[in-house]
Chains A and B, each alone.
Chain A
Amino acid sequence: MKMTAADVEHIARLARLELTPGEKELFAGQMDAILGYVEKLKGVNTEGIVPTSHAVPMENAFREDVVRPSIGLEKALANAPDRAGTFFAVPNVIE
C-alpha cells in the first residue's frame, strides 16, 4: 500500500487539520513507513492470541450511580472562546 497526498488529505480533513502541500508529501512518506512496518507485523503468526485493546491487564473499573457536585457554570465556561448567557456560543450550525 502506497500512501498518496490524497490519502493524507482525506485523513487530515476527517481530523480537521489544515496541511500545506509540503506537509502532505512529508506525512505521506512517514505514514507509508508506519504502514509498511504494520504490514511486516502482519506476517507474524498470532493464531490463538487475543487482540490487545488495552496495554494494562485490568478489567471492570466501575463507579456507583451516586451524584457528585458538578464544577459550576463559571468554571465550565471559563475556557469558552465565546459564550452567550450560560451557553457556549458557536457559529451557526445548519441542519
Chain B
Amino acid sequence: MKYQPVIGLEVHVQLLTDTKIFCGCSTRFGAEPNSQTCPVCLGLPGALPVLNKKVVEFAIKAGLSTNCSITPRSIFARKNYFYPDLPKGYQISQFEDPICQRGWLDIKITTPDSISADSVKRIGITRIHMEEDAGKLVHGDFSGRDDGSGVDLNRACTPLLEVVSEPDLRSSDEAVVYLKQLHQIVTWLGICDGNMEEGSFRCDANVSVMPVGSSTLGTRAEIKNVNSFKFVKQAIEYEIQRQIDLIEDGGTVVQETRLFDPNSGKTRSMRSKEEAHDYRYFPDPDLVPLVINDQWIERVRQELPELPEQRQHRFMAELGLPPYDAEVLTASRALAEYFEAGVAAGGNAKAVGNWIMGEITRTLNDSGTSIEACPITPGELAELLKLIDNGTISGKIAKTVFDEMWKSGKTPQIIVEEQGLLQVSDSGAIEQIIDDIMAANTGQVEEYRGGKEKVFGFFVGQVMKASKGKANPAVVNELLLNKLKG
C-alpha cells in the first residue's frame, strides 16, 4: 500500500528582548547558572508577573508577517505540569484566544521530476501564542557531582513565540522549506537571532501517515529535539518510515512524544512526563487580559521592514534582477541591505549582485565571516566595479584587487596605483605582444589560417598571460583577429 505522510510543525521562537517576559531579569546568554533570577522567574509565592510590552510588539510583527489576524482581546493561561525545570508547577502560556490566529505562508515547492516551473503551496498557520520558556537541566557530571540533575533557572521566563502550523505539509522537503521561510522571516524582523544550536529557534514535528486517498488522518507522534534543518529532514523521514513499517507489520501507531537522536538518526519514545496529557489549562488570574486595538496594529504595521518576498519582487521589477539573483540576494536582510547599498553607491545592479553572489559569498564562507562583518564596504565594492566599467582595470585583475582589498582594507584606487595594475588598452603595446607571440607560435598561426578557429582562444590566453592579465580583453580580441586573418 502507498502511504501519504501528514506533517505539522510547532516552532518555538525565542525573542530578542533584553528582559524576560514577566520580569526584569536579563535574558543574556551564558551567565553563571541562576544568577539572572528573581522571585517571579523562581516561582516564589506572592510574586506578580507583569507582561513585557516588547514581547507583544514582536508577536504582532510575527503575526502580520505571516498573514495572521491579531486577536483584539487575548488572555494568558496556566499550563499545569510538573518537571524540575518549571519552578511554579505551571507554564504561563496562551490557550484560548492566542494573540495571532489563522495565518499562512506561501512556500515554494521545487519539482525536479516535473516540467512545470516551481509551484507555490499555501501552508496554514493555526496560531501564534506567547509563552515563557522553562529553565535548563544539566545531567550527570556537573559541579563536582556525578549523579542527579542540576537546575539553572536563567532561561526560565524567557519570552517565546510558539508558531503552530496546520497539518498541511506532505513531505520532509516541504517541512524544511516552510521552516526555512519562517526562520528567514523572524530573523529578518529582528525579533529572533535564529540560532538553532543555542535553541533560539527550535522545532517539534507532528508526523502521521495515512493510506493514499484516505481522508482520515493517522495517529500522530510528536518528535522533539530537532535543532537543525538537516535533522528536521532526517527525523521526519525516519519517523515516516517507522510508522509505515509498523502498520505494514500489523501494528498501530500510538500517540506519543518521541525524541530525535542525531547520532543514530532515529527517534525513540520518551517515557517521562507524558503519562497524563492533562494540562488543566485555566486563565491566569495574575495577568490581566491583553487588548490590542487597530491603532496599535497599524502602528506596528508601519514599522515592519520590507519583507523578503516584497524585496525580491522589487529587485526584479525595479533593478531588473533575474528571479534567481533576487532570491539569493534576499536570503538575509543584511545581505539584501549590502546589495542595495552597493547599488546606491553607483554600482550596476546585475554586476553588484554577481560579485556578492560570487567573490563575496565565497570569501565570506572561506573565512567564516558573516556579511555584517564583511571587511569590504558596499561603497568600496561599487568603486571597484566602476574601475572595471571605465576600463581602468580588467575583470581579471579586479579579482586580484578584490583579494587585496579584503586583506589590507585599502581602497581599490590605491591598490591599483600601488601595484601598477592599470589596464593596458594602448593598441601599440598590445600589438607588440601579439607580434611576439605569433612569431613564437608559427604552427598555431598556420592552424588558425587553415580553418581551425578554436586556436584563437590559445592566442588570447597567451597575450593575457604575457601582459600579466592587464591587457584590455576587448582590444586584444580585436587586434588579434585582424592580425591572424593576416
Give the B-binding residues of A (Cβ under 8 A).
Answer: 10, 13-14, 16, 53-56, 58-68, 70-73, 76-77, 79, 84-95
Contact = CB atoms under 8 A, between A and B. Distances in A.
A77 B280 contact: no
B19 interface: yes
A70 B52 contact: no
A62 B153 CA distance: 23
B35 A73 contact: yes
Contacts of B288: 54, 56, 58-61
Interface residues of B, number: 57
Contacts of B37: 70-71, 76
A68 B289 contact: no
Contact of B142 (A10, A59, A62, A87): A87
A84 B148 CA distance: 10
Contacts of A92: 139, 147-149
B228 interface: no
12 contacts: A60-B289, A62-B51, A63-B53, A64-B54, A68-B38, A86-B32, A87-B138, A88-B84, A90-B84, A90-B149, A91-B148, A93-B84
Contact of A54 (B17, B23, B25, B289): B289
Interface stretch (B270-278, B324-332, B404-412): B270-278
A67 B24 contact: yes
A68 B278 CA distance: 36
B291 interface: yes
A71 B143 contact: no
Contacts of B142: 84-85, 87
B144 interface: yes
Contact of A68 (B25, B150, B283): B25
Nearest to A86: B33
B361 to A, nearest CB: 35
B304 interface: no
A70 B17 CA distance: 16
B36 interface: yes
A65 B142 CA distance: 33
A89 B283 CA distance: 31
A13 B396 CA distance: 75
Contacts of B42: 76
Contact of A60 (B83, B138, B291): B291
Contacts of A77: 34
A8 to B, nearest CB: 14
Contact of B139 (A66, A71, A93): A93
Given A56-B288, A89-B145, A93-B139, A68 B34 contact: no
